[in-house]
């Protein structure tokens, strides 16, 4: 006997169908070691689900100009903005954790936007990728972003905008590597696209060919701009084994 995934989850967890569907849509539900991606997918009625918990939002710093937080995976940047009732200065993808900045005054916002435009902002990320990365390398390939319905998808293209990423090895575990990625530009899904194009797709990034995992293994480790410097500790569950 089969039933829709969200209805089975609702029964297992003792929650409403709507709440169950929301958990699946957020990417928090797993069955047989794989993420459940379609709430209405038909599944065996005996299926047992595992539900990941969203970590708490940690405030790193606040003054009269901005708020810096350590964003947990599975929350959108817009949800963080709504919680703090403060506009975003930049965005992180839903499954990306790490330093996220919100802006509190218009003058600082304008200065920060100019700093981003002029490539005067340092952004460092950590990622687990497929393959063994033993030496540093630079990726200088333009990226074109396309809108598909409500979603954005990017790819390397000669018709795209300038995008530069610098990759350094940090650790090797079997057939996987942990790398540091520094970006000079901030194109949509830049790190995900560049690493996939280099043959080292990010673990968990099914959109760009990554191996299955509970989340996209990408963490915004550090950001520096206009005299500020913020760093977010790597999550304890940020590992491939």
Helix (H) or strand (E) holding 35: strand 34-35
Structure-block tokens of residue 69: 């937080």
DSSP annotation string for 197-227: HTT-PBTT-GGGTPPP-SS--EEEEEEEETT
* CB contact set of 102 (below 8 Å; sequence gap of 6+): 66, 67, 68, 69, 80, 81, 84, 86, 87, 88, 89
Distance CA 28, CA 50 (A): 8
CB contact at 8 A, 119 and 190? no
**Residue 197: active-site member:** no
Identified catalytic residue from 22, 25, 63, 93: 93
* Beta-strand pair 228-231/137-140: unpaired
| Phi–psi pair at 13, nearest 5 degrees | -90, -10
Catalytic center residues: 93
């Amino acid at each position: 006997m089969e039933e829709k995934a969200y209805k089975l989850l609702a029964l297992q967890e003792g929650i409403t169908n709507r709440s169950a569907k929301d958990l699946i849509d957020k990417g928090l539900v797993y069955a047989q070691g794989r993420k459940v991606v379609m709430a209405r997918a038909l599944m065996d009625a005996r299926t047992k689900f595992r539900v990941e918990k969203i970590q708490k939002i940690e405030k790193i710093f606040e003054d009269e100009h901005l708020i810096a937080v350590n964003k947990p995976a599975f929350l959108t940047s817009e949800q963080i903005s709504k919680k703090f009732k403060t506009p975003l200065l930049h965005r992180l993808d839903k499954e990306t954790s790490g330093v996220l900045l919100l802006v509190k005054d218009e003058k600082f916002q304008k200065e920060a936007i100019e700093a981003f435009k002029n490539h005067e902002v340092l952004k460092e990320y950590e990622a687990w990728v497929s393959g063994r990365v033993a030496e540093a390398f630079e990726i200088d390939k333009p990226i074109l972003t396309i809108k598909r319905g409500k979603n954005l998808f990017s790819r390397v293209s000669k018709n795209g905008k300038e995008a530069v990423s610098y990759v350094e090895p940090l650790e090797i575990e079997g057939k996987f590597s942990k790398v540091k990625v520094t970006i000079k530009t901030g194109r949509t899904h830049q790190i995900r696209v560049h690493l996939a194009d280099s043959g080292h797709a990010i673990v968990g990034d099914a959109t760009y060919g990554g191996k299955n995992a509970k989340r996209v293994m990408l963490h915004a480790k550090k950001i520096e701009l206009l005299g500020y410097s913020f760093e977010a500790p790597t999550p304890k569950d940020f590992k491939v084994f």
